[in-house]
Structure 1
Amino acid sequence: MLKSFQRIKGLGVFADYAPPAGTVEFGVKNIIYGWNYSGKTTLSRLVAMLQSRTLNPELPQCSFTIATDTGNVTEANFHSTSHVVRVFNSDFVAENLNFAGSHFRPILLLGSESEAAQKEIERYEAMHKRAVDGAADRSKEAAAATRAMSSAKTTASATIKKAIGLVAAFGSTQLDAELRTINLGLENHALETEAFEADIKLAHASAKESLPAIAMVTVQMSLADLSARASTLLAKKPDLANTIAHLVDNPPVETWVQMGLHLHQAKTACEFCGGDLAPERLKTLGEHFSKDLDDHKRAVEQLAQQAEAAKLTIAERKDVELNAPLKEQFVKANADFQQALVAYNAELEALRVRLVSKLAAPFVTVEPEPYDGKAAETVTRKLEALNAVFKGHNEVKDNFPAEKDAAIERLKLHFAQEFKEAQYLDKFATDQARRERHRMRYESCAAKLRTEINRLKAIISQAQLGREEINKRIENLLGGESVQIAVVATAEGERFQLVRRDGKPARHLSEGEKTAIAFSFFLTKLREIKEFGKAIVYIDDPISSLDSNHIFQVAAIIKETFFHQPVVNAPWTTRCKQVFFSTHNFEFFSLLRELKPEGKNAALYLVKRIGPKTSSLLNMPESMHRYDSEYHFLFHVLDEFHNSADKTDLKVLMLLPNAVRRFVELYTYSKYPDRRMSPVDARAERVFGGEKAKRILKTLHYFSHANNVERMYENSDLMCDIEAAVGDLMEHLQASDPDHLVALRAAVA
C-alpha cells in the first residue's frame, strides 16, 4: 500500500517536490483534483513505473521516494518492488489499444465456471504434446530406417550393376522393382552355384563367345525285325533223313566233323588218326551235312551277325559343349539315354547268343524270347529328351541376345533375393508398419485431443470472455449501436480489433468513444489479476471528452468495480488494496467524493501549478469540500479574488484563467443551451456583448492552458487584464443577473 510521495525530483512539473507540512497519508480511496496540465498525469506515470519496473523513457533523470507499508520505494530499488500496481492513463491507452483499425493484444480472462475446464485444457495440452512428440518420434525412427535402407539399396544396386556388368541404369529404383517381384513370393529366385556362375558368364559374354550348335542324334533300330526272324530260325529243324544219330546227339562232334570234312575229299585215310577212310563213310557223312542244313546254319549265322551289327552306338557329348543352363539337363538326359542303349543292346546280345547256340546245335529247337518292344520305346523316349536338350542349346545360340537378357534378369532377381535376406526386408517392413501404426495412433490421439481442446477453448475462450465483458462495458457507456470489440485469429493467436456493428474495422473514432473504450478495456483487464485484493490501482482522468450523462455512468461503474459493503450495515471498503483517482472535472470529483468509504480511509488532494515548471500535491482545501458542483467552486474562486485586497499572488493568478474560462463556459451554456450557439465565443458575445466578451475571452484564451503558463511571466501587462476580465464578469452578474449572483453567494457562504 502506498503511503505518500516523500520526494520527487526531475519528474516533469515536479522539479523538486516534498509534501507540504500536514499532508495526510494516502488512504484506501484517494482522489486528486487538478486542472489540465497541473501534473495529474505525471503522478500517474510515477506510479506506473512501479507496475512496469522500468523508468519512463520520457523521464530518465528523475529520482523519487515513495513511502509504502513495506518500506520506501526509490529509483534505486523500484525494479524489485513486490507491489501489484495497475495504472490507467494516456500511456496505457497508447500501449494497449489501436484506434486505427488494426488488431491489438487481447484481454485474457477466466470465468469461475471455466476454471475446471481450463485445467482440463492444460491436461489435454500436455497429453496432446506427448502425442505429437510420440508421432514425431515414430516419424523420425521411420525416416532414419528409410534413410539407412535407402543407403543400403544404393550400395547394393551399385554392387549388382558391377557384378552383372550392366550398361543400363540400375539404382535403388530398379532394385525396388526387382524386390516387388521377389515379394510376390511365387518362387525362390536364388540361383544354385553352377547356375549362378553360368548366368554370370552369359551375362558377361558377347555374341562371339556363344558355343557351336549340336547336331540332333538319330538311330536305326531293327530289334523287332531281328527278333521276328530269329524266332523262325530258332524253331526250325533241318531235314533228318540221312542224319547220323551220333552226330545229332553230339553237336560238338558234329561241328568238328563238319569243319574237317572238306579236308578228306578224295582221301582214303583219316587225316586225324591215319586210319582207312572208306568211300562209303565219306558218302554217309556228306549226306548228313546236307544242303538244307548248310543253308539253315548259314541263315542262322548271318542273323547272328546282323544282331551284332544292329547294336546302337553314338558319339558321346561333353557337358562343356552345352550352354551352362542346360548342362544339368544334359547330364541327366544323356545318362538316361545311355542306359536305354545298354538295355537295348543287351536284348540284341541275348538274341545273338541264342542264334549262336542254334548254330552250334542246328537240330535243337530253341524257344524264342517273347519281344515286347519296351527297350526300343525307351530308347526312343530318352533320345527325344536328349535331343530336346540339344535343341535348347541350339536355340540359345540362335537367340543369344534374348538368352543373355534372360540370364541378366535371373541374376537381378538372384541378387534382389540375396539383398532381401541380408537386409531382413520382411522384418524391416514389419518394423516400419509398426512405426506407422504407432504414428497414426499418436496422430489420431492428438487429433482427438485437439478437437476436445478446441471445443473447450471455444466454450471458455479467454479472449472471447474478455471480449464479452469489455463489450458490455462499452455498450453501457456508448449504447447498443456503439463500437464493439471483435476477436480475430492471427498468426500470433487471438487478437482484439475494434469494429463497427457492420463488422468493418472502426476508424475515425470520436474522443468520447476512445475514452469509453479505453476505460472499459482497462477495467476489464483488471480481471486478469488473480489476487485483485492485493492490487493498487491508479486511474487518471477516465472521463475525458465524455458528457455529463456518461460521467454519471463512469462513476457508477467505478462504484461497482472498486467498492463494496461486505455485509449489510458493515463499513464500505475497496475491492482492491488501494485505489487512486485523478481528474480535472469537478462534477466527477464530486461524484467520486460521495462514494464510500469516507473519513480516514478516504483522502482528498489538490494538484496545482505554483510556478512555470513547478506543481505541488497538497491536501484538498477545506473550502472545496463545501461545494456540490464545479460551478459553485469556480464562482467561489472568482468571487474571492474579486473581493480580495491583494490581487498579485501568483499562485492565485495562475488558477484564474482556467477558472474564468470554465465558469464562462458553464454560465453561458446555462443561458443558451442551443447547439447552434455551442462555441463559447458566440455564447459570450450574446450574453456580455461583443466588446466585453472579447475583453474577457482574449486574456482567458491566452492563459487558460498550462502549456502557455510561462507566458504569465513573459506578458505581465496582459496579466493585469485578468483582474479586469474578472471585474467585467462580476459587474455583468451584478447588473444583468443579480438574483443569480445572490443565489451563488448564498450557496458558497
Structure 2
Amino acid sequence: MLKKVQYIKNLGVFDDFNWDREVKNKGGAVQNFVDINIIYGRNYSGKTTLSRIARALETRSLSDKYGAPSFQLKFDNNSEVTLAALSTHNKNIRVFNEDFIRDNLRFITNPDDSIEPFAILGDDNNKIEKEIEVLEVELGSNDEGNETGLFAKKKVAKATYENAFKDHKQLNDSLEKQLSDKATNKDIGIKYKPERYGDQNYTITKLKADITTVSSSDFQQLTSEQVSEHEKLIDEKILPAIPVFSPPKLSFLSLAQQVQVLVTKPISESDKIQALVKDAVLNRWVNEGRSHHRNKHEKCAFCDNEISAERWAELDKHFDEESELLEKSIDALLAKIETENEAVDMALTIDQSFFYSKFHSQLTSLDFRLKAATQDYQLALGNLAKQLKARKSDILNVKDYENPIDCAEALIPVWQEYSDLCAQSKLFSTSLASEQTKAKADLRLKEVADYLVTIDYQKQLNSIEFLQRKRDEAQQSKATIDEDIRKRQARITSKRRELNDEEKGAKKVNEYLNNFFGHKFLTLEAKKDEGQTQDAKRIRFEVIRDGRKAYHLSEGECSLLAFCYFLAKLDDIATKDSKPIIWIDDPISSLDGNHIFFIYTLLNAEVIDKGKFAQLFVSTHNLDFLKYLKRLKGKYVNQAGKEVDYQKQYFVVVRQDKSSTFQVMPTYLSTYVTEFNYLFHQIHKCAAIESVDDTNYIVFYSFANNARKFFEIYLYYKYPDQGMNESTLGKFFGEDSIPAVLTDRINNEYSHLSGVFERGATPIEVPEMQTAARRIIERLKQDSEQFLSLMRSVGEASDDI
C-alpha cells in the first residue's frame, strides 16, 4: 500500500512539495494514504501530474519533457520508489488518466486508428501449443549456467562481444589517456604552457583538431632554425621607434670630374726653371724653402750663399699664381673627398637591438653588404685622392687621369633595403600580437606532431581500428542472435494470444456500456487482421455504431468508452486477481449528471464491491462527482478472517500561483454532501449556543447569511412557484407570525448593509438571532423524518427531537 508521496521536485506544478510538511490532519499529525483515497482539485491544480507519477510506476518510465524532476514514493513496508528506481520496483499498479487513454485508445486522436486489444480468457488449442513448444525448444533454456539452444549461442556471442569490447575499450582508453595527458596534464600538458603554446584553455578536443591538422599531407613541420626564430619571436616585447635614417647624397661622379680636370690641367712653361720642372721633388723642396726664407734670411740657410734679387725674381716667375691656384684647388678638392669619405663612413651603422629577432638574419647579411659597399666606395674616393696628391706633388707636370669605378650603385640599394626593413619593423610592431599567436600555434603543432611520433600514434590507431572491426563483428553476430530470439519470442507471444480470447475483452466493455449506462448505440468489436507475416497483430478493437465503424464520437462518448475499457482491462490476463493499486483521474470529463452517477455506480459495483484493488485513488474536479464519491464504502476480510470496513480519507490539491501542494481536505468540503446540509448545520449550531464567546462567535456572525440562503433553498423546493418571501416565511412558521417577522428582519438587515450602512461600523449583538435559530429548528422538527435525516447528514445525534 502506498503511504505517501514523500516529495516532488520540479515536476509540473509541483515545485518543492514535501508530504510531512504539508499533509497534516487537524491535530497536526501527518496523514497517510488509506484504503480508499478521494482527491479533489480544481482544473490545472496538479491532479493529472499526480496520476502521471503513479502511471510512471506502471509503465516504468516518465516523460523526458519534464526537464530534471525528482520524486519519492513511500510504501507501507518502508520500501521506497524514486525516479531512478522506476525500472526495478515490484509494485503492481493500474492508472486511468489521459495518458492511458492516449496510449490505448488511439482512435480518439486518430479516427482511422483502433483500440489496443486485451485478452481476458482463452480456450486451449493443441496445435498452437505444439507450435509454441517447438519455438521454445529452439529458444532453449535461459537459466544461468545451464543455457541451451539460442540462449547458449547468445551467451557465447555476448562473451565474445564483451571481450572484443573490453580489448577495444582498453586500448582506446589508453590512447585517450595519453592524449588527455598531453592536453591537460600539469607536467606535460599543452594547457599549462600558454606562454609557449598560446592556449590556457586547451582541451583534448582541441588536441584532436590539431592532430587532424598535423596529419594532413600538406602540413609542413618547423625546422630547428624556424623553432629558434619562433621562440625568439614569442619573447619579443614592443620595441621603441627606430631612429630615422636619411641616406647622404653621394657626389662621386662630380668629384671624379673635378679630379680629372685638376690632374690633367697644364701649367704654362714660360719663365720656368728647367731644372725644377724636371725634378718634382726638388721643385717642391725649393717652393717650401721660399716660404722659409722670404723676408727672413738674406742668405741660403742650406749653402750660406747670398740670395740675389735676380734669383728671387726667377723663383717668383717659376712659382707663379697659376701653379699656386692649382695647388689650392687640389687641396680644396682633397678636403671635399675627405668629407665625402667621412659622410659615407658615418652614414649608417646597423644596430640589431633596434629590430625584432625575425629581422636579425636579414640585418646580418645587410650589414656585411653595407660594409663591403662602403669599403669599395671609400677605396674609389681614395683613388681620386691619390691622383690629386700625385699631381700636387708634381704640380708643374700634367698626369694621366685614371677613371675609378662608381661604387655608389652598390651602396644605394643597401641603404634602401635598410629603410625598407625599418618600415617593416614599424609595421611589425602593430601586428606583433597576432604574429606571436601564430608562432605559438606553429610551435604547438610541432609539439603535437613530435608527441605523435613519441607515442607511436599511428600504430596505436591502426590497432584500435582493427579491434573496433572485431568488436563490430561480434556485436553484429550478437545482434543477429538477439533478433532471432526476439522473433521467436514474438511468435510465441503471438501464438499464446491465439490461446486467449480478445473478443471477451470487447464483450466486457459492451457489458458495462449496456448494463450501467444503457448505451446500446456504441459497441466494441474485436476485428482480425490478415497480416503478411506470422508476427503481424491479428486482433484489433474497433468502435461500432449501427454496424459500421464509428467516427466523430462526442467527448462524453469517449469518456464513457475509455472508463469502461479501463475497468474491463482490470480483468485481463495480466491483471485479474492481482489486486493492484488503482488510480483513477477525473473519469467524468464532459459527462452530464446522470452519467456522472453511473460512473460512480460502476466504480462502486465493479471495483469496491468486488474488492479488485489493494488500494484505490480517485481524483476529480467535479463537486457533483465528489458528492457521490463520499458514498463509497465497502468491506473486506482481513488477515484474521474478520470482515472490516475500508478506511477512507479525503485530500485536496491546491494551486497557489505557479506551484501546487497536497493537503488533507477541509471539513467543510469533506463532511457536507451539499451546501443545504452545511447551512442547516450552522443554524443548528447557532440554536444550540448557550453563550457567545471567542470559540463560537463566527456561527453567530454568519447566522443572517446562512439563514437567508437556507430559506431560499428550502422554501424554493417547498413553494417552487414563489420561493422565499414574507408569505412563504409566514407559511413556514404557521400561525405564529412573530418568528417570521423576526427572521425576515434578521435576513434583510443583518445579511445586507444596504440602507443601514451605519450598522457595519458597530459589532453584532442581537439576541433575536438565537431566538430565530431556535424557532427554525423547532419548526423543522415537526417533519421528524426530514429532521432526523438532516441531523444524520451533519453528524449530529439523532435523538435531539
**TM-score, structure 2 as length reference:** 0.40
Alignment TM-score, normalising by the size of structure 1: 0.42
Higher helix share: 1
Larger radius of gyration: 1
Q: Looking at both structures, which has the greater relative contact order when contacts are Cα pairs under 8 Å and sequence separation is at least 6?
A: 1
